[in-house]
Amino acid sequence: MVALTVNGKTHQVDVDPDTPLLYVLRGELELNAAKYGCGLGQCGACTVLVDGEPVFSCVTPVLVLEGRKVTTVEGLGTLEAPGPLQQAFIEEQAAQCGYCIAGMMMRAQALLQRNAAATDEEIKAHMEPNLCRCGTHMRIMAAIKRAGKLMQTASAASTGRTG
Ligand code: FES
Ligand code: FES
């Protein structure tokens, strides 16, 4: 039994501790956004955050995750109340087939939560491990920039309210 905290909720999962996180998310927890692309840590389709940092869930055994916080794209918002990245990806129509998109959003989230004003060059360098076979990179870039602006606006508004 492994205790896994995903999107703020702790689950006891009855799996072999060597099981990759991706299989547990999809097979046990019904969190199907993260995708199986290569299974080898080479494409990024399975990217989720662990304690705020992007990891390839296809090569991350659940045993190393006890006591750590996993975030998947389902944890960024809901259909009714999408988070900034989800909103921006919709507005920019950034997905073509969509297979890479959850991984893209999670890697982008790691960057934007540190620096919502990241430059094009910083975004390109940060996103490098994640591949998109459909070639929608320009729209993905635009969506990440838009999400950063949404985050900055929200942060300014919240500072204004509390300050
Ligand atoms: S499926 Fe995990 S990196 Fe490709
Ligand atoms: S939108 Fe198809 S792989 Fe990226």
Q: Which ligand sits nearest to residue 104's alpha carbon?
A: 2
Residues 39 and 71 both lie in one domain = yes
- pLDDT score at 84: 98
Residues 71 and 7 both lie in one domain = yes
Q: Which ligand sits nearest to residue 39's alpha carbon?
A: 1
Q: Which residue out of 93, 97, 137 has the highest number of ligand 2 atoms within 8 Å of its CB and is therefore the one to mutate?
A: 97
Contact (Cβ atoms closer than 8 angstroms) between residue 139 and residue 54: no
pLDDT by residue, tens only, the chain of 163 residues: 899 999 999 999 999 999 999 999 999 999 999 999 999 999 999 999 999 999 999 999 999 999 999 999 999 999 999 999 999 999 999 999 999 999 999 999 999 999 999 999 999 999 999 999 999 999 999 999 999 999 999 989 988 765 4
Residues 13 and 32 both lie in one domain = yes
Residues 19 and 65 both lie in one domain = yes
Q: How far apart are CA 116 and CA 98, in angstroms?
A: 23
- pLDDT score at 55: 98
Contact (Cβ atoms closer than 8 angstroms) between residue 144 and residue 91: no
Find the 163 Cα to ligand 1 centroid distance in Å. 43
Find the 104 Cα to ligand 2 centroid distance in Å. 10
| Ligand 2 contact, 97 CB (< 6 A) | yes
Number of domains in the chain: 2
Of 75, 104, 124, the residue at which a domain comes to its end is 75
- pLDDT score at 163: 47
Of 15, 44, 75, the residue at which a domain comes to its end is 75
Containing structural domain, residue 141: 84-159
Stated pTM of the model: 0.95
Residues 71 and 89 both lie in one domain = no
